[in-house]
Amino acid sequence: MPELPEVETTRAGIEPHVAGQAVRTVIVRQPQLRWPVSEPLARELPGQVIHGVTRRAKYLLFEADTGHVCLHLGMSGRLRVVPAGTPVAAHDHVDIELANDWVVRYNDARRFGSIFWLTEPPEHFSLLARLGPEPLSADFTGAWLKQQAARRRMAVKAFIMDSAVVVGVGNIYACEALHAAGIHPRRPAQSVSLARYKRLAEAIKTVLARAITVGGTTLRDYIGVDGDTGYFQLSLAAYGREGTLCPRGCGAIRREVIGQRSTFFCPTCQR
C-alpha cells in the first residue's frame, strides 16, 4: 500500500509536469473505484489550469480554477506522467491530458483508490475534515500527543496510527519510531510522559523524512516508469527483524500482533 512518503514522492515527481498547465481532456475508462469517480470531473476540469499539487495525509490535491481533484491511491494505485498517445495498459482507469501533451495517468489494479472533484475547500471535505495534523508540520509535537492521549488506555502504537491523532504513521513507521524513542508498543497511551512523547514526535518526523528522502532517490523518474508500491527500502532497526539482535545490543527483537498488525520491538530497551 502506498504510504505517506510514497505519496509525497509522487506529488513531488508529478507537480513540475502539471503546474501551470491547462487540462485538455479527462478520460474516465473505469469510474468504479472505491467510490465512483466524481461524475462532474470530466465535464468541469477540461479548460481549467492546474495551479499546483499539494498533499493532505495520503490524498493528493490538484488545485484547478474552480475546484480540486482529490486523489487517493488506495491499495495499489499508481500515478504516472506519460506522453500523450501512450498506449493504454490494463488497469489504466483515468487520464488527465494536459495542453503540454503530457498525460497524468491513474492505474489501479485493485480499484481501492478514489478520485473526487471538490468545489468546497478541501479541508471541509468529509474525508479530510477530521484528520489530525501532518507529522512533518510544526503543529505535530510531543505536547500535542500528550494532550490527545489523556484518558486513552489504548496501546500507544495503535494511538499513533490513528489518523485523528496524526496522519501518515503506517505500521513500519510506528514500529521504527517507537523503537527509536524507547517506548514499548503496548504501553497505554495515557501513561507515556510528555518528555517521552517529545522524543516520539521527533522520531516519527525523522523516520518519515528519511523515507521521503530515500523515495526521492529510488522513484525519481515518474515519466513512463512503473513504480513499485510498498514501503521504500529503508534500513530498519526493528521492523521485520524478529529474532535478530537489537541495534542497541540489548537482546532479540520480538514480534507480536498488536491491533491486528505485526509489531516488532525490543522488550529490553522499549518500556
**Residue positions annotated with a catalytic role:** 2-3, 58, 261
Nearer to Zn ion, 134 or 242 (CB): 242
- CA torsion angle 21 27 32 35 (round to 10): 20
Q: How many residues bind Zn ion (CB under 5 A)?
A: 6
**Span from 5-13, 78-86, 208-216, 244-252 in contact with Zn ion (CB under 5 A):** 244-252
**Span from 133-141, 156-164, 236-244, 261-269 in contact with Zn ion (CB under 5 A):** 261-269
Rounded least distance, CB 237 to Zn ion, Å: 9
Determine the Cα–Cα distance for residues 118 and 136; give it in Å rounded to an integer: 25
Nearer to Zn ion, 79 or 181 (CB): 181
Determine the Cα–Cα distance for residues 240 and 234; give it in Å rounded to an integer: 11
Q: Which one among 248, 252, 256, 271 touches Zn ion, defined by CB under 5 A?
A: 248
Determine the Cα–Cα distance for residues 268 and 271; give it in Å rounded to an integer: 7
Q: Which one among 143, 245, 250, 252 touches Zn ion, defined by CB under 5 A?
A: 250
CA geometry: angle 108, 126, 9, nearest 5 deg: 45
Residues 71-90 that bind Zn ion (CB under 5 A): none
Residues whose CB falls within 8 Å of the CB of residue 62, separated by 6 or more in sequence, listed in order: 18, 50, 52, 53, 68, 69, 71, 96
Q: How far is CA 209 from the centre of its chain?
A: 12
Determine the Cα–Cα distance for residues 197 and 160; give it in Å rounded to an integer: 10
Q: What would the x/- binding string for Zn ion be over residues 192 to 231, using CB under 5 A? A: ----------------------------------------
**Span from 3-11, 80-88, 162-170, 240-248 in contact with Zn ion (CB under 5 A):** 240-248
Q: Does 266 bind Zn ion (CB under 5 A)?
A: yes
Helix count (H) and strand count (E) of the chain? Answer: 7, 11
Determine the Cα–Cα distance for residues 219 and 213; give it in Å rounded to an integer: 10
Rounded least distance, CB 248 to Zn ion, Å: 4
Q: Does 269 bind Zn ion (CB under 5 A)?
A: yes
Rounded least distance, CB 269 to Zn ion, Å: 3
Q: Does 246 bind Zn ion (CB under 5 A)?
A: yes
Nearer to Zn ion, 93 or 184 (CB): 184
Residue 222 is placed in which grid cell?
515518474
Residues of this chain that bind Zn ion (CB under 5 A): 246, 248, 250, 266, 268-269
